[in-house]
Chain A
Amino acid sequence: AQTVTQSQPEMSVQEAETVTLSCTYDTSENNYYLFWYKQPPSRQMILVIRQEAYKQQNATENRFSVNFQKAAKSFSLKISDSQLGDTAMYFCAFMKHGPGDKLTFGTGTRLAVRP
């Protein structure tokens, strides 16, 4: 079974600064996907970024980037130029490679962006 660990229950960052959220996972799979989801106060789950394990290059989506270390089983999220709208719960998630497979979520990190 896969496990996903987020060791930071809460984080705070000043607006316009950079913050990094940590995530580690445990799996015996070689092919898989990793995701970061954002859940704002509306509670709608929003996909922030995804990474295919077979790709060495770190994924980037505008102000969001990841540091994927496959050997260390680490998948951190960096948010640059933090904005007030980034305030949310952030969940790291793992999925085995295969159609229709399920997501395994971490416990989440609550991020507060201070004005």
Chain B
Amino acid sequence: GAVVSQHPSRVICKSGTSVKIECRSLDFQATTMFWYRQFPKKSLMLMATSNEGSKATYEQGVEKDKFLINHASLTLSTLTVTSAHPEDSSFYICSAGGQGSSSYEQYFGPGTRLTVT
């Protein structure tokens, strides 16, 4: 099956700094990648949808200047949390959508736990 990786799996950063999370599709080309945020014991909240080579589409209420998304290639998308604050601490998950007849399928990364101190 298709594999999606995320790096790092855990990160701790100080308030005011920026942190970058990478999402890679390892064995397929991902036309579209999605970024989610998940609070403890809660559901996944979609933050943004990114298509390779174009600007990301952000969900309502998500600050695009704070959560920078880049989808520079068909196998890599990055989420940068800028000027992080403790309230940005959360579990961030990416997923990647494939091409062709299985384009409805989304493959999820293992997630990144961000802690802002």
Contact = CB atoms under 8 A, between A and B. Distances in A.
Question: SS class of chain A's interface: helix, strand, loop or mixed?
Answer: loop
A105 B43 contact: yes
A103 interface: yes
Given A45-B95, A105-B44, 5 more contacts: A43-B93, A100-B97, A103-B106, A108-B42, A110-B41
Contacts of A100: 31-32, 49, 51, 97, 103
B10 to A, nearest CB: 11
B104 A107 contact: no
B91 A43 contact: yes
Contacts of A101: 104
A44 interface: yes
Interface of A: 33, 42-47, 91, 95, 97, 99-108, 110
8 contacts: A33-B104, A44-B108, A45-B93, A97-B104, A100-B32, A101-B104, A104-B46, A105-B43
Contacts of B34: 102-103
Contacts, number: 50
Interface residues of B, number: 23
Nearest to A104: B46
Interface string B17-50: 0000000000000011010001001111010010
A99 B111 contact: no
Contacts of A43: 38, 91, 93, 110-111
A7 B43 CA distance: 13
A75 B106 CA distance: 19
A91 B49 contact: no
Interface string B44-75: 10100101000000000000000000000000
Contacts of A45: 44, 93, 95, 108
Closest 4 CB pairs of A and B: A100-B32, A99-B103, A45-B108, A105-B43
